[in-house]
Amino acid sequence: MKKILVANRGEIAIRVMKTAKKMGIKTVAIYSTADRNAPHVKFADEAVCIGEAPSSESYLRGDKIIEVAKNLHVDGIHPGYGFLSENADFAELTEKNNIVFIGPRSKAIKIMGSKLAAKEAVKAYNIPMVPGIDEAITDVEKAKSIAREIGFPILIKASAGGGGKGMRVVEKESDLESQMTRAISEATSAFGDGSVFIEKYVTSPRHIEIQIMADSHNNILHFFERECSIQRRHQKVVEEAPSAVLSPELRTKMGEAAVKVARSCDYLGAGTVEFLIDADHNFYFLEMNTRLQVEHPVTELITGIDLVELQIKVARGEALDMNQEDLNIEGHALELRVYAEDPLNDFLPSVGNLSTYKLPVGEGIRVDNGFEEGMDIPIYYDPMLSKLITYGATREEAIQLMIKAIENYQVEGVQTTLAFGKFVCEHEAFCSGNFDTHFVKNFYSPEALQQKTENEGKIASLIALKQYLNDQKLLRLPN
């Protein structure tokens, strides 16, 4: 594999290209008209404009991407995450054109792309699943009957869903019909598929995922877990590895379950198996993401493994050159997704110009970044600017380093989730490890963040004033 096209943009495009260059592989970037001056375009060996700013006219145009790949004699396509990364048709089109898709086979993407098909595939492997119905449902009376059987609260979920879309928690029977109608409508508009199913709503859940890697020689390894319970709108914002609540025994059990899930669909490459853990530490299979995850850096830091490098090696047909026993957890890593969003206004996207944009540096600090000072934030794509990752010998060290890194991350021109990240890292519930996916609902409010910021500002002013007065005293002292 001498040349790879990265079918993505921003920080993940640069992340993939860095490993490719390290491996002596040439890189091709694609970009939209909105991204012509983006860092990923400059970082690549070659770059081609793929279309206009909307992703439907650029990053989602699989036919155009294949055309560029063929014209430039590309050997492989890495889809990153988002866009076409979990599009089975694109994976198939790549394969048909004799280009290696650096990801799973299209069959696995199809199976795991449907939550219902995924549940069906893993049934034979004795993997715990949340009580509920594993078939699409539109009949409200039938839904009520099932809900009564498993007990309220229940969760209505879109089969083709992700990112919290088409998902509704129903506390009582009288709300079921209206919430079901909304979930079906939202799923139809978001995914073109209105199939929904019902399962028991797990109270006080923690969201734990297991990183796996499978080669074409029947080897599947797991690279331990990531804790992803700090979320807003069912989307992750803070992730860490390892989890503060997993015992070595539970870790082994979940790792083995994740490997079975991968085996159930003849998996190839990097994937993530997602689980819910209840208050009694029972775990349940949720879904499988058939791609590299946004939060993969925390796994890389605690294992010392470059997951993108492994992806490329596996795609080239190489066997994994390690055993499960060779893998160990060293230290602790934390990641904050730095979004151009306003945490004081319901995390709505914040559009503007990055008039100041300076990244923190130092030992134990990693920033996977996709922007530069002076750039505008495009309105067409996900508003993530970067991923801020810290690594320490202990969880406490990683948290303190994250607080320091946030304070040294300078952004002006847009609102970001940096202040929210600091709020999380300084909160007693997070520091103690005693939290779940309801952290934002239970502990966070714009008022709490504003109050905290104002208090910090007052303290900083008092310290500055004290320092000034001390300096004046020194100046007045006789020589």
pLDDT tens for each residue of 16-52: 999 999 999 999 999 999 999 999 999 999 999 999 9
Pick the CATH number of 131-200 from 3.30.1490.20, 3.40.50.2000, 2.40.50.140, 3.40.50.300: 3.30.1490.20
pLDDT value at residue 60: 97
Mean pLDDT of all residues belonging to the chain: 93
User: Given the structure tokens 């790549």, which residue do they identify?
Assistant: 94
Determine which of 38-47, 125-134, 444-453, 470-479 has the lowest per-residue pLDDT on average: 470-479
How far is the C-alpha of 128 from the C-alpha of 221, rounded, in Å?
A: 20
How far is the C-alpha of 172 from the C-alpha of 151, rounded, in Å?
A: 9
Q: Which residues of 287-302 are buried (b: 16+ CB within 10 A; e: fewer)?
A: bbbbbbbbbbbbbbbb
Domain 3-102 belongs to what architecture?
3-Layer(aba) Sandwich (3.40)
pLDDT value at residue 460: 58
Query: Could you tell me which residues are beta bridge partners of residue 328?
Result: none
pTM for the complete prediction? 0.89
Q: Three-state DSSP class for 111? A: helix
Which residues are the active-site residues? 291
pLDDT value at residue 362: 97
Q: What is the DSSP string of 164-231?
A: TTT-EEE-SGGGHHHHHHHHHHHHHHHHS---EEEEEPPSS-EEEEEEEEE-TTS-EEEEEEEEEEEE
Check pLDDT > 80 for residue 407.
yes
Stretch 346-360: mean pLDDT:
95
User: Given the structure tokens 């304070």, which residue do they identify?
Assistant: 407
pLDDT value at residue 139: 86
Residues with Cβ < 8 Å from 108, sequence gap 6 or more?
265, 266, 267, 268, 290
Kindly state the percentage of the chain with pLDDT values over 70: 95
Determine which of 8-22, 71-85, 164-178, 363-377 has the lowest per-residue pLDDT on average: 164-178
CA 41 from centre of chain: 23
Domain 206-445 belongs to what architecture?
2-Layer Sandwich (3.30)
Residues with Cβ < 8 Å from 422, sequence gap 6 or more?
403, 406, 407
Kindly state the percentage of the chain with pLDDT values over 90: 80
CA 409 from centre of chain: 21
Residues with Cβ < 8 Å from 302, sequence gap 6 or more?
224, 241, 242, 329, 330, 331, 332, 333, 391
Judge if the upstream peptide bond of residue 446 is cis by omega within 30 degrees of 0: no
Strand order across the beta sheet in which 283-289 lies: 283-289, 269-277, 206-214, 220-232, 235-241, 332-339, 384-392, 365-369
pLDDT value at residue 455: 67
- pLDDT digits over 287-340, tens only? 999 999 999 999 999 999 999 999 999 999 999 999 999 999 999 999 999 999
Residues with Cβ < 8 Å from 192, sequence gap 6 or more?
160
Check pLDDT > 60 for residue 479.
no
pLDDT value at residue 429: 97
Q: What is the DSSP string of 358-406?
A: E---STTEEEEE---TT-B--SSS--EEEEEEEEESSHHHHHHHHHHHH
Check pLDDT > 80 for residue 12.
yes
- pLDDT digits over 422-462, tens only? 999 999 999 999 999 999 999 999 998 988 777 666 665 66
